[in-house]
């Protein structure tokens, strides 16, 4: 018997749906505080030395953190080819904005301290701000549009056609999700600076983090009410089985308000996700107010995990619903790669993901501790 036949095709699809969520959450939890620090940089750090302190809390780790983004994109490409084709073409301008903003980050790190000129350094400080704020906003806007359904359809030959425009993505609900994403990562960045920075940088970061955590609680609740009252959800009504070959057009889909909450009635344990989102943000808020460090950062992580998990669990089994042709919607069961592809990728992931986790843990252990002005003065040749 071929080895990959020991794992059912439908089980592999479910495993890769979970792994995709793990990779996206890993990116948000790790690189998320990098983006949060970049967003806070012009506000929490006001002198050149303060900004160098803030930058040096993330400069040694951001490249490793961004690996999760690359892994997530690779997983979408290999495990869910229709999802990659539709999302990366339909959201092309949005993706371009994200990549352009992310490119500013390494350039800003490398060039900011090359010249001892206040205007030069301020320019790169704002570049680092853009590198944090823009991706956080656009990722949230993208999620908001996915929850509403994306305007694409599949031809009978399964060719995708995207019929939306960039400015159509900037609708009120999507913008609310974008602001929630920014608030979530600013909270996370504030918790990180409270843990790693010193002096006024840590104090201001905690102050801004308190505001961001409060905004997360309010916006997350408002988004849930909005979805319940005014956003159509999707439900498969016929024509699909978990072990079917990839062909989204074989199913029938109903579209009704409130359907994104249906999974919580069927599987009450899923309520853990939104509870984590709220309780994590509340714990981070209280921790920031009381000046706690490690627990605050852990609560912030918990909130990020809960909020992102809420989106995935609410939509399951849909991964990209279509607003103009619900039958074309992509689901876990009908838009994955072949059985052998998913299995071979799973073997590779089982080997390399633990290595990545082990290396990342080792790096954070080595770099544990606060960044001070004295550290930067003593390391002029290596500090940013």
Q: Tell me the C-alpha distance between 227 and 221, whole Å.
A: 10
CA nearest to 154, candidates 91, 83, 94, 92: 83
- Residue pair 162/320 in contact (Cβ under 8 Å)? The answer is no
Average pLDDT over residues 135-157: 94
Tokens of 3: 């080895």
Higher pLDDT, 77 or 175: 175
CA distances from 51 to 41, 48, 355 (A): 7, 5, 33
* Res. 1: pLDDT tops 50: no
Q: Where are the alpha helices (DSSP H) in the chain?
A: 9-44, 48-58, 62-79, 81-90, 92-111, 118-148, 172-196, 199-230, 262-266, 272-290, 294-315, 339-366, 373-378
Higher pLDDT, 339 or 217: 217
Amino acid 171: pLDDT? 94
Tokens of 187: 């909270």
Q: Tell me the C-alpha distance between 221 and 232, whole Å.
A: 17
10 Å CB burial of residue 199 (0-12, 13-18, 19+) is middle
- Ordered by start, the domain boundaries in the chain are 3-378
- Residue pair 208/38 in contact (Cβ under 8 Å)? The answer is no
* Res. 93: pLDDT tops 50: yes
Q: Tell me the C-alpha distance between 314 and 87, whole Å.
A: 19
Q: Which residues contact 65 (CB under 8 A, 6 or more apart)?
A: 27, 30, 31, 34
Average pLDDT over residues 304-315: 96
pLDDT digits (tens, 9 = 90+) for 94-121: 889 999 999 998 898 888 888 888 899 9
* Res. 368: pLDDT tops 90: no
Amino acid 289: pLDDT? 94
The model's confidence at residue 381, banded by pLDDT at 50, 70 and 90, is low
Amino acid 4: pLDDT? 58
Amino acid 3: pLDDT? 56
Question: Mind giving me the DSSP string for 97-160?
Answer: HHHHHHHHHHHHHHHGGGS--HHHHHHHHHHHHHHHHHHHHHHHHHHHHHHH-BSEEE-TT--E
Query: Whole-model pTM above 0.85?
Result: yes
pLDDT digits (tens, 9 = 90+) for 16-36: 999 999 999 999 999 999 999
Cα-atom radius of gyration of the chain, to the nearest Å? 22
Higher pLDDT, 10 or 306: 306
Strands 152-154 and 232-238, sheet pairing: unpaired
């Amino acid at each position: 018997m071929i080895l990959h036949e020991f794992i059912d095709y439908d089980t592999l699809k479910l495993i890769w749906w979970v792994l995709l969520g793990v990779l996206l959450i890993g990116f948000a939890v790790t690189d998320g505080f990098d983006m949060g620090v970049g967003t806070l940089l012009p506000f929490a750090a006001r002198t050149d030395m303060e900004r160098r302190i803030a930058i040096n809390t993330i400069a040694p780790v951001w490249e490793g953190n961004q690996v999760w983004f690359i892994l997530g994109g690779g997983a979408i490409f290999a495990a869910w080819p229709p999802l990659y084709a539709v999302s990366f073409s339909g959201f092309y301008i949005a993706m371009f904005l994200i990549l352009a903003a992310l490119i500013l980050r390494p350039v800003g790190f490398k060039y900011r301290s090359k010249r001892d000129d206040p205007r030069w350094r301020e320019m790169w400080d704002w570049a680092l701000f853009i590198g944090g704020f823009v991706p956080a906003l656009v990722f949230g806007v993208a999620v908001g549009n996915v929850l509403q359904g994306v305007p694409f359809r599949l031809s009978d030959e399964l060719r995708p056609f995207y019929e939306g425009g960039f400015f159509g993505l900037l609708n009120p609900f999507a913008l609310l999700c974008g602001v929630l994403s920014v608030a979530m990562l600013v909270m996370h960045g504030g918790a990180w600076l409270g843990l790693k920075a010193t002096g006024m940088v840590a104090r201001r970061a905690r102050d801004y983090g308190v505001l961001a955590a409060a905004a997360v609680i309010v916006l997350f609740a408002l988004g849930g009410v909005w979805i319940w009252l005014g956003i159509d959800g999707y439900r498969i009504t016929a024509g699909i089985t978990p072990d079917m070959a990839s062909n989204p057009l074989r199913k029938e889909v109903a579209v009704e308000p409130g359907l994104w909450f249906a999974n919580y009635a069927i599987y009450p344990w899923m309520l853990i996700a939104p509870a984590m989102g709220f309780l994590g943000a509340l714990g981070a808020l209280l921790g920031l107010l009381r000046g706690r460090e490690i627990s605050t950062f852990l609560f912030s992580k918990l909130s990020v995990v809960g909020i992102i998990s809420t989106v995935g669990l609410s939509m399951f089994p849909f991964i990209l619903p279509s607003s103009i042709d619900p039958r074309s919607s992509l689901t876990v069961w009908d838009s994955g790669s072949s059985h052998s592809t998913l299995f071979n990728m799973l073997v590779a992931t089982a080997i390399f993901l633990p290595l990545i986790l082990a290396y990342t843990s080792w790096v954070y252990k080595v770099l544990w501790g606060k960044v001070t002005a004295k550290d930067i003065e003593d390391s002029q040749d290596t500090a940013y």
